[in-house]
């Protein structure tokens, strides 16, 4: 196994070219981390997160997933969130474990402006991550984002969103993103004997991953809306827990997976 | 009663022919049959006076409009830029004359004395410091801006000069003419302060550069921006201050003043940075035939300490070098309302529970949001109506609803969380039961989580309850 890892590191080094050795943020679960180069979400790169169906306009599940991904980065610096439509609810992000006091929101007037603000923010000292809500990102814009990421090692998250509806645009073919995710909400499972909704669950598909493998999982934000104790989380662990591996594109197990209390 | 048309202003020539303000228009036409008249336009006059006040900012940042036809300029501490009051007045007179404006002006210690001298003394009078009393004495009592009821009294007593009024002892004066008249006399003589409403608040943080030759080339404008910023910032630095907003004003040869403004997230005094923020806006300035004066004013000035960068952690960037310039760039490019940090507001009503705070402002005193109360990630500005809502019993969460043409079957639901309106803020008569909202968190069969509410209570015949979608959890 260690040979594999060494080989993978070597390939990554070749791919990275002159780029400095980049850090990564492990999910803390072997099944996911094994698919990602360097054993975690690569930092200093940008990641594309999309939804399907009505989520293309509302982008609620991708937003929640992005907030969960970016939450550990808030201890390194500020997070700049570039919006096109001002409907982000900071109280909701706090519930997911994302501290809103580290969040600066910027409302851009159009797509080009959103991309250029992202670029500007990524290249700024003191900014750990930049989230942008953009409809499509072509190859040139993607490369520019990548260059901006490399300047300071900030991580970009690009949420594919058509903020005011309208007809679907053709998906961009090429992309400079390090990873591409497709996120959808999944039915939650409350603990046995409890009413209401369980912790939010997401069907997360890693559609594309540079230097890694694709995969699909059912993840649960088990700490959501549950008090302050997980603010003590370490730098490595994401507030996401693997519920089931959907790698073979099967549906969730027929027998609902019960959370161990 | 029929409205009488009266003369509201006369030209110099008309005045020589014996016409005066307040005369009936028919009388005036009878006296001078070939009189040319024009309708009075008070609004246009006021606008022109305001424009003139803006123009006068080149002489002093503190200009007060004295309607309908006067301006007060506070030239305290400004006259040395012209080498004295006389030179300043001469410059003002030359420029007003060049613009073809009829005018009278005077300089005195107090606004009241200056007004009196400008209206009744020789044009261009300059009262020596503390010496306005002697100049005022021979003027008619009208120079004191007396209230109309006092005016009749003064006439009746046959007082013809301010000097006679000044010689009356204070007690009898106040009894005979009233307190208002006493105040006016005291204001003219500097025994009492007079509050002027300056069009711009007097600002000591003001720098000015005048050019021998008017400039118009873009690179020159960029250079003078840096120069005037350096001039102001040097003063800010010696006093340990920094400003949050800077307003640069280009004064054109033809008398137009073109202002530009930038804001900083943290108070600053770095001329290069300020000039850089102005740079993209300079091209919107049309220099016309040239710019002869540039002024820069710093607003929201507050002390800043020259904080030392941290020695222990060389890698960790300070806010001043990273975030503050970014916020400045973004706010100046996109507008101040487009860059913000969400801050909590202590309110139960979800759409009122957050406000936009300045990105680098210190955290607010308000209690933070409760982590354990689920709130959506996307909160709609306006709740969207739900159709075809089905519930098992009236007080249950819906088992099915249609939103944007799509039917969602509810699999799990949680609630209600009842949120009432803030009845203590408005009139008690406006409080209605249909303003009560019962919020439910529901999950449909696909797993999408919604935040919806029913407004109003069941059993209310007049306003049946309605269902709305307020946000999405994702």
Q: What is the pLDDT of residues B352-362, one digit of tens each?
A: 888 999 888 87
pLDDT tens column, B241-270:
889 889 999 999 888 888 999 888 888 888
Sort out which chain B residues have CB atoms less than 8 A from A54's CB and list them.
Answer: 404, 406, 448
Tell me what the mean pLDDT of segment B310-333 comes to.
70
CB B414 within 8 A of CB B458: no
Q: Could you tell me which chain B residue has the CA closest to the CA of A55?
A: B474
Sort out which chain B residues have CB atoms less than 8 A from A78's CB and list them.
Answer: 323
**What pLDDT was estimated at residue A257?**
47
pLDDT tens column, B133-156:
888 888 888 888 888 778 778 888
- Asked if A185's CB is within 8 angstroms of B325's CB, the reply is no
A28-37, B191-200, B313-322, B444-453 — most confident range: B444-453
Question: Given a cut of 60, is residue B169 above it in pLDDT?
Answer: yes
**What pLDDT was estimated at residue B229?**
93
- Asked if B342's CB is within 8 angstroms of A100's CB, the reply is yes
Q: Is B365 near chain A, with CB under 8 Å?
A: no
The Cα–Cα gap between B397 and B399 comes to: 7
- Alpha helices by DSSP H, listed for chain A, are 2-16, 30-33, 55-58, 60-70, 90-95, 111-122, 139-152
Question: Given a cut of 70, is residue A248 above it in pLDDT?
Answer: no
- Asked if A225's CB is within 8 angstroms of B371's CB, the reply is yes
pLDDT tens column, A24-73:
888 888 888 888 888 889 999 999 999 888 888 889 999 999 999 999 89
**Residue environment code for A207-233, b if the CB has 16+ CB neighbours within 10 A, otherwise e:** eebbbbeebbbbbbbbbbbeeeebeeb
Q: What is the bridge-based pairing of β-strands A46-50 and A179-186?
A: parallel
The CA distance from B286 to the nearest CA of chain A, in Å, is: 26
Start-to-end Cα distance in chain B: 73
Please spell the DSSP secondary structure of B161-181, one letter per residue.
Answer: SHHHHHTS-HHHHHHHH-HHH
Tell me what the mean pLDDT of segment B37-47 comes to.
87
How sure is the predictor about B402, in pLDDT bands with cuts at 50, 70 and 90? very high
Domain extents for chain B?
Answer: 61-189, 206-303, 378-472
Question: Given a cut of 80, is residue A217 above it in pLDDT?
Answer: yes
Tell me what the mean pLDDT of segment B59-71 comes to.
86
How sure is the predictor about B314, in pLDDT bands with cuts at 50, 70 and 90? very low
pTM to 2 decimals? Answer: 0.67
Question: Given a cut of 90, is residue A122 above it in pLDDT?
Answer: yes
Q: Could you tell me which chain A residue has the CA closest to the CA of B474?
A: A61
- Asked if A120's CB is within 8 angstroms of B329's CB, the reply is yes
Sort out which chain A residues have CB atoms less than 8 A from B319's CB and list them.
Answer: 126
Q: Is B341 near chain A, with CB under 8 Å?
A: yes
The Cα–Cα gap between A28 and A41 comes to: 11
The CA distance from A108 to the nearest CA of chain B, in Å, is: 7
Q: Is B372 near chain A, with CB under 8 Å?
A: yes
Chosen for mutation from A62, A68, A89 (greatest number of chain B CBs closer than 10 Å) is: A89
Largest CA distance in chain A: 56
The rounded Cα B382 to chain-centroid distance in angstroms is 31
Residues 171-190 of A with CB under 8 A from B: 184-188, 190
Residues 121-140 of A with CB under 8 A from B: 121, 124-127
Q: What share of chain A is helix, strand, coil (3-state, %, to 5)?
A: 30, 25, 45
The CA distance from A82 to the nearest CA of chain B, in Å, is: 9
pLDDT tens column, B13-26:
888 888 888 888 88
CA distances (Å), origin B61, targets B26, B64, B239, B298? 44, 10, 20, 11
Higher pLDDT, B312 or A180: A180
Residues 407-466 of B with CB under 8 A from A: 411-414, 441-443, 445-449
Q: Could you tell me which chain B residue has the CA closest to the CA of A106?
A: B339
Q: Could you tell me which chain B residue has the CA closest to the CA of A189?
A: B412
Of B243, B238, B247, the closest CA to residue B267 belongs to B243
On the CB side of B55, how many CA atoms lie within 13 Å of its CA? 16
CATH of B206-303, one of 1.10.287.610, 3.50.50.60, 3.30.450.20, 3.30.1490.100: 3.30.1490.100
CB A70 within 8 A of CB A157: yes
How sure is the predictor about A185, in pLDDT bands with cuts at 50, 70 and 90? very high
What are the structural domains of chain A?
A: 21-166+174-245 (3.40.50.300)
Q: What percentage of chain B carries pLDDT values higher than 70?
A: 96
Question: What value does the mean pLDDT of chain B take?
Answer: 86
Q: Is B381 near chain A, with CB under 8 Å?
A: yes
Q: Is A116 near chain B, with CB under 8 Å?
A: no
Weakest-pLDDT range from A23-27, A200-204, B227-231, B384-388: A23-27
**What pLDDT was estimated at residue B77?**
84
Residues 310-339 of B with CB under 8 A from A: 317-319, 321-323, 325-327, 329-330, 334, 338-339
Higher pLDDT, B189 or A9: B189
The CA distance from A80 to the nearest CA of chain B, in Å, is: 10
How sure is the predictor about B378, in pLDDT bands with cuts at 50, 70 and 90? very high
Q: For the beta carbon of residue A173, count every other beta carbon within 10 angstroms.
A: 7
Question: Given a cut of 90, is residue A118 above it in pLDDT?
Answer: yes
Question: Given a cut of 60, is residue B66 above it in pLDDT?
Answer: yes
Question: Given a cut of 50, is residue B300 above it in pLDDT?
Answer: yes
**What pLDDT was estimated at residue B61?**
82
């Amino acid at each position: 196994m260690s040979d594999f890892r060494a080989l993978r590191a070597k390939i990554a080094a070749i791919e990275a070219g002159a780029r400095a050795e980049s850090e990564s943020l492990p999910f803390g679960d072997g099944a996911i981390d094994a698919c990602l180069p360097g054993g975690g979400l690569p930092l200093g790169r940008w990641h594309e997160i999309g939804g399907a169906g009505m989520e293309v306009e509302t982008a609620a599940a991708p937003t929640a997933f992005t907030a969960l991904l970016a939450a550990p980065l808030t201890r390194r610096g500020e997070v700049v969130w570039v919006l096109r439509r001002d409907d982000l609810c900071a109280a909701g992000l706090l519930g997911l474990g994302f501290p809103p006091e580290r969040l600066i929101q910027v409302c851009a007037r159009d797509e080009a402006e959103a991309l250029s603000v992202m670029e500007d923010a990524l290249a700024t000292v003191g900014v750990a991550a930049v989230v942008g809500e953009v409809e499509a990102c072509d190859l040139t814009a993607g490369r520019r984002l990548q260059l901006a990421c490399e300047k300071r090692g900030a991580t970009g998250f690009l949420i594919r969103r058509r903020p005011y509806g309208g007809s679907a645009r053709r998906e961009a073919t090429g992309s400079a993103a390090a990873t591409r995710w497709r996120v959808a909400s999944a039915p939650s499972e409350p603990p046995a004997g409890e009413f209401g909704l369980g912790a939010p669950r997401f069907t997360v598909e890693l559609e594309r991953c540079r230097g890694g493998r694709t995969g699909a999982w059912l993840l649960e934000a088990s700490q959501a809306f549950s008090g302050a104790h997980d603010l003590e989380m370490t730098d490595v662990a994401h507030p996401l827990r693997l519920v089931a591996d959907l790698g073979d594109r099967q549906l969730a197990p027929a027998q609902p997976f019960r959370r161990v209390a | 009663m029929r409205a009488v048309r009266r003369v509201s202003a006369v030209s110099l020539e008309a005045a020589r022919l014996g016409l005066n303000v307040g005369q009936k228009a028919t009388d005036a036409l009878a006296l001078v049959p070939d009189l040319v008249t024009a309708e009075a336009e008070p609004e246009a006059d006021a606008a022109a006076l305001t424009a003139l006040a803006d123009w006068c900012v080149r002489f002093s940042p503190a200009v007060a409009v004295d309607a309908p036809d006067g301006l007060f300029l506070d030239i305290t501490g400004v006259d040395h830029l012209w080498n004295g009051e006389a030179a300043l007045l001469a410059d003002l007179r030359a420029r007003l004359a060049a613009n073809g404006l009829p005018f009278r002006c005077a300089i005195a210690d107090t606004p009241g004395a200056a007004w009196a001298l400008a209206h009744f003394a020789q044009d261009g009078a300059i009262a020596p410091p503390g010496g306005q009393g002697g100049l005022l004495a021979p003027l008619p009592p009208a120079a004191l801006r007396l209230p109309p009821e006092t005016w009749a009294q003064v006439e009746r007593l046959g007082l013809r000069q301010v000097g006679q009024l000044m010689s009356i002892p204070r007690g009898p004066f106040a009894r005979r003419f009233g307190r208002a008249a006493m105040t006016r006399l005291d204001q003219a003589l500097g025994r009492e302060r007079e509050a002027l409403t300056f069009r711009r608040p007097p600002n000591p943080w003001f720098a000015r550069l005048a050019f021998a030759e008017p400039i118009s080339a873009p690179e020159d404008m960029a250079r003078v921006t840096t120069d005037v910023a350096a001039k102001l910032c040097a003063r800010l630095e010696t006093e340990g201050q920094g400003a949050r907003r800077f307003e640069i004003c280009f004064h054109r040869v033809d008398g137009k003043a073109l202002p530009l403004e930038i804001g900083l997230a943290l108070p600053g005094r770095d001329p290069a940075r300020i000039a850089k923020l102005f740079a993209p806006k300079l091209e919107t300035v049309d220099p016309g035939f040239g710019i002869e004066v540039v002024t820069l004013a710093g607003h929201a000035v507050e002390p800043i300490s020259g904080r030392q960068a941290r020695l222990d952690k060389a890698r960790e960037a300070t806010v001043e070098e990273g975030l503050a310039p970014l916020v400045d760039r973004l706010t100046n490019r996109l507008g101040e309302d487009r860059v913000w940090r969400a801050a909590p507001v202590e309110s139960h009503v979800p759409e009122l529970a957050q406000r936009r705070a300045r990105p680098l402002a210190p955290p607010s005193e308000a209690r933070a949001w409760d982590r354990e109360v689920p709130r959506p990630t996307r909160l709609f500005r306006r709740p969207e109506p739900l159709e075809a809502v089905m519930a098992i019993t009236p007080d249950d969460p819906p088992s099915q609803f249609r939103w944007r043409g799509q039917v969602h079957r509810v699999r799990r639901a949680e609630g209600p969380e009842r949120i009432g309106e803030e009845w203590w803020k408005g009139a008690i008569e406006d409080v209605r039961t249909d303003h009560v909202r019962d919020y439910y968190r529901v999950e449909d069969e696909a797993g999408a989580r919604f935040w919806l509410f029913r407004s109003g209570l069941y059993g209310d015949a007049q306003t049946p309850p309605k269902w709305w979608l307020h946000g999405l959890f994702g």
